[in-house]
Structure 1
Amino acid sequence: MDIKLGKVLKRFTLDFALDMASLLVRAILTIAVVGLLFGQDAAFWLRRGSRRPRPRPQPRCPDPTAVLPGAQTTWDDTFTFMCPDFQVIRRIRSAYCNTARDRVWRFDCESIPGVSVFHELFWSGWVNNYGGIMNYQCPFNAIITGFKSQHNDGREDRRWNVRCSKVYDMVTFNNVLSNVTNELGLPGDYNVSDGFYLRGMHSYHDNDYGVTKTEIVGKHRKVRHKRVSEGTPSHRRCFSSAIPDSGGVNTRPKPKGIVYRSTSTDPFVNLAFEDWLYENQDFTNTDILLLWRNEPTVVIGRHQNPWSECKVKRLQELGIHLARRRSGGGTVYHDLGNLNVTFLTSRDTYRRKQNLHDLVTALKGRWPSLDLSVNKRDDLVLNDTYKLSGTAAKLGRKTAYHHCTLLCDVNTQALKDVLVSGFDGLETTATASIRSEVINLKDVDTSIDTKVLGDTIAEYFMTNHQGQMEQVCDVDPTSEALYPGVGKIAEELKSWEWVYGKTPPFNICLRKPVNGLAVPLGVYMKVKKGVIVDSYMECPLLWVSEGVIQDIGYSMRGRRFRAVDVQAGLEKSLQSYRRMSDDERQFAERLGQFIVDKLV
């Protein structure tokens, strides 16, 4: 009975499935026939209920020259524009396309009256992030002469790189900020006013700027708010006058000038006083000229290696100081026959090359026979051959100083003796000095000495500032009452941690020739921040055991790269290693003494 009922149910299920399939086929055929009769395909009737409108094609941006005659860029492109030689930007025009969400640009340039050369040309680097605020002004009284720009499709914005150009004898003043030069989504056209020059730009980018647009759809009026994002911000530009049109005469009032002459000859005190002025003096309306001399000293740059720049051990034997200054540049030798000159100013009025040209003018005005010039490395040279002065600078956010040496009557024999490395196998990435032939001014004109040289420079400095020679001040930089904190700075500059510990990482190999060996023994060390972080030896195992070699290497690790520390480590190693034979101990002691003698 159960078997028969199962067969009946199975047959009923099969018949029902066949009937439903037949009905579905008939329905599809009916829809297809109706679609053919009415000229539409079946897909139209299947999609009819969704009521989704087809996307409208986006209008393309017109040709750039159609919306901005003479346009020099295209939509969404990366471009670089530079004015022709000796010209600056005078007019900026732009047009906007909502589809590309970008602007096209046209820049017009013209010459500056009386200017036939730019002494410095430099790019700022990117001055804004995509979507961020831009607020940039060319430093050092420079003027804008070009732009680079990149567009980002995702952020629908541009970032900018500014080309700045500088003329040494040009000083900008009367800085003013223009009105908004274009509204969001609208064309822009800005002409720089007569007598003014473009120095900077301020802008913002607005992704959420709403534009209300009314559209009629069927019989219903609907208001749609569309987001409009400009491909570049609306710009407010910052301008300042550089050279008036009245014959090119500079009407900027002279800044106040002060001349300090240090009574100290301690190199650490003088370097500390220089840095104290940099940190504590207000240079908004005042420039300072500092004249100073040092006892015999080798002064290395902030990022240099003393062991690769000079004979450190020889300096100690001769009683010559070793100092590391806080500015960059190369190594110089000071003694009382050398005059050091420091120009301290605000960052905006910093002018390194102009300072050097002023020195040339001052010296040639007093001694016309001197054939002085400034070379490409910003050195003062005599007869285009002999170096008289090295130069370096430190630039801060608001202040800056530029200092240089003047060889008047220096002990050139000592200079040549100590300014060579005492190590052959030293490898370093530290800044290396450029060796040059030097000469003393006194060798050219015997009437020149450091006192007359300083007075000549101070007098010329005062002619360019509001001040009199009577205002040249002899100052004692060790006075804590007048200059609180100078002593602390001097102690920092004198410390081992500063002079040696600030040395960039280096590797060194000390080699000791040994009779009977074709290859000398090698002691290898890796040094970071003046501390030996790794060391090992190359030595024949026939002379000493491998354990002794390893122990000598381990004994120097973690110790300062100086004689007293290394010697203490070697002595401790020799005392603790008891399996050493007498010959091994004698060899280890001689090798240790060789290493210590090489260090300071």
Structure 2
Amino acid sequence: MIFIENEGHTNPRLNLALEEYILRHFSADHDYLLFYINEPSIIIGRNQNTLEEINHNYVEDNNIHIVRRVSGGGAVYHDFGNLNFSFITNHDGKSLSNFKKFTAPVIKVLNNLGLNAELKGRNDIEVDDRKISGTAQFSTGKRMVSHGTLLLDTDLSEVAKALNVKMSKIESKGHKSVRSRVANISEFLKAPLTIEDFRKLVLEGLYDESEPFETYHLTLEEWSAVHQLKAEKYDTWDWNYGRSPKFNIQRSKRFTAGEIDLRIFVEKGHIKDFKIYGDFFGKEPVEQLEQLLTGVRYDYNTIKTVLKDTDLKEFFGDLQKEELIDLIYGEDE
């Protein structure tokens, strides 16, 4: 086992790019272990609809990163109180979905810290029926990554706020997260631990479970390639939002101008079909608006830009532009 030093980087997009780079480009002759701690962020599962998982306004207002990972499973919140671990190994045909194999050494470390930790369900580590870790896996065919979270001292109130979805009436083929009763590991410790001390203890515990570790530092060329992967994939709207499965949205609201009922079909992050119904009165046919918005990226700022020069009073009467944009993309009261 070789331990990869991430040099203290806390940008989640860089850390996920590092993880994927190791998976795809490091020698298959070795197994690798990676630790990283992320700035406040929501990490979206590969097969999820991002909009179904986040409180968009809260995330925007608090500068919380939104990043899609390569593995499946549900959305998770990361911050500086959460330690992430990742095992990169060969895919032997038996290890995929074998979460017990990869969580066993982590659970033993937690047990040695005095926690009654055990694997519950398919992929969660729990203490006294409260989740303190979730894990996920991804395989390239020959290689695989098994990664997970360890909630040491995460701000659980932020978890609730950031993942409190306020956009209603979305029907999608994405895999919706199931919220569990979560807890911090710190609640079960006899003495407080900093995240740095916890990281050290977990690493030492994993050392004891394996052959002697070698620590590896990436070269400048390797870091350059990691940054390139981050820029080309993990920094992009297409990966983090546009990769969401197809979904339908039905949203309606009564305004001074009358009832407006929207039906929106989104595919690959773009509006493929847009219909407007209601009992409002307008001079121009709403089909013009429908055509204007069809094909554009389903993104708040993009929609705002497209409608910038449009006089909505011609279509609806007494209606403010922000009111329509909020109905198209905004969140519920």
Distance 2:4 2:15 in 1: 11
Per the alignment, residue 330 of structure 2 pairs with: 598
C-alpha offsets along residues 138-170 of structure 1, whole Å, 9 cap, x if unaligned? xxxxxxxxxxxxxxxxxxxxxxxxxxxxxxxxx
Out of 293, 304, 307, the residue aligned to residue 570 of structure 1 is: 307
Mapping for residues 354-503 of structure 1, pairs under 5 Å: 354-365=101-112, 367-368=113-114, 370-383=115-128, 385-445=129-189, 446-468=191-213, 471-472=214-215, 475=217, 480-491=220-231, 492-503=233-244
Out of 2, 10, 13, the residue aligned to residue 268 of structure 1 is: 13
Q: Summarize the Cα distance change of 1:528–1:482 in structure 2 as closer, same or farther, 3 Å threshold.
A: closer
Moved over 6 A (4+): none
Out of 321, 334, 358, the residue aligned to residue 65 of structure 2 is: 321
Per the alignment, residue 266 of structure 2 pairs with: 527
Out of 539, 547, 568, the residue aligned to residue 278 of structure 2 is: 539
Distance 1:290 1:358 in 2: 14
Per the alignment, residue 299 of structure 1 pairs with: 43
Is the strand fraction higher in 1 or 2?
Answer: 1
Are 2:132 and 2:151, in contact at CA under 8 Å, matched by a contact in 1? yes
Per the alignment, residue 24 of structure 2 pairs with: 279
Paired amino acid for 1:544:
G
Q: Summarize the Cα distance change of 1:597–1:303 in structure 2 as closer, same or farther, 3 Å threshold.
A: closer
Are 2:39 and 2:80, in contact at CA under 8 Å, matched by a contact in 1? yes
Alpha-carbon offset, residue 304 of structure 1: 0.6
Per the alignment, residue 205 of structure 1 pairs with: none
C-alpha offsets along residues 497-552 of structure 1, whole Å, 9 cap, x if unaligned? 111111110011232233696xx5212210000100111112115x225x432222
Distance 2:237 2:130 in 1: 34
Percentage of pairs with the same residue: 25
Partner SS, residue 485 of structure 1: helix
TM-score between both structures, scaled by the size of structure 1: 0.51
Distance 2:109 2:321 in 1: 60
The structure number with the bigger radius of gyration is: 1
Are 2:251 and 2:328, in contact at CA under 8 Å, matched by a contact in 1? no
Alpha-carbon offset, residue 458 of structure 1: 1.8
Per the alignment, residue 291 of structure 2 pairs with: 554
Are 2:257 and 2:318, in contact at CA under 8 Å, matched by a contact in 1? no
Q: Summarize the Cα distance change of 1:484–1:568 in structure 2 as closer, same or farther, 3 Å threshold.
A: closer
Paired amino acid for 2:127:
L
Is 1:504 the counterpart of 2:245? The answer is: yes
**Long gaps (5+) in structure 1:** 1-256
TM-score between both structures, scaled by the size of structure 2: 0.90
Distance 2:308 2:197 in 1: 55
Mapping for residues 333-344 of structure 1, pairs under 5 Å: 333-344=77-88
Distance 1:386 1:359 in 2: 16
Q: Summarize the Cα distance change of 1:410–1:313 in structure 2 as closer, same or farther, 3 Å threshold.
A: same
Distance 1:467 1:409 in 2: 29
Paired amino acid for 1:264:
H
Mapping for residues 211-230 of structure 1, pairs under 5 Å: none
Paired amino acid for 2:157:
Q
Paired amino acid for 1:499:
N
Paired amino acid for 2:264:
M
C-alpha offsets along residues 256-307 of structure 1, whole Å, 9 cap, x if unaligned? x2222321001011000000100111232x2211110000000001111111
Paired amino acid for 1:566:
I
Paired amino acid for 2:319:
F
Mapping for residues 109-148 of structure 1, pairs under 5 Å: none
Structure with higher RCO (Cα < 8 A, 6+ apart): 2
Is the helix fraction higher in 1 or 2?
Answer: 2
Are 1:480 and 1:486, in contact at CA under 8 Å, matched by a contact in 2? no
Alpha-carbon offset, residue 357 of structure 1: 1.6
- Count how many residue pairs are aligned between Structure 1 and Structure 2: 325
Per the alignment, residue 144 of structure 1 pairs with: none
C-alpha offsets along residues 82-119 of structure 1, whole Å, 9 cap, x if unaligned? xxxxxxxxxxxxxxxxxxxxxxxxxxxxxxxxxxxxxx
Distance 2:224 2:320 in 1: 51
Distance 1:523 1:480 in 2: 51
Q: Summarize the Cα distance change of 1:347–1:568 in structure 2 as closer, same or farther, 3 Å threshold.
A: same
Distance 1:511 1:387 in 2: 37
Alpha-carbon offset, residue 464 of structure 1: 3.4
Are 1:522 and 1:537, in contact at CA under 8 Å, matched by a contact in 2? yes
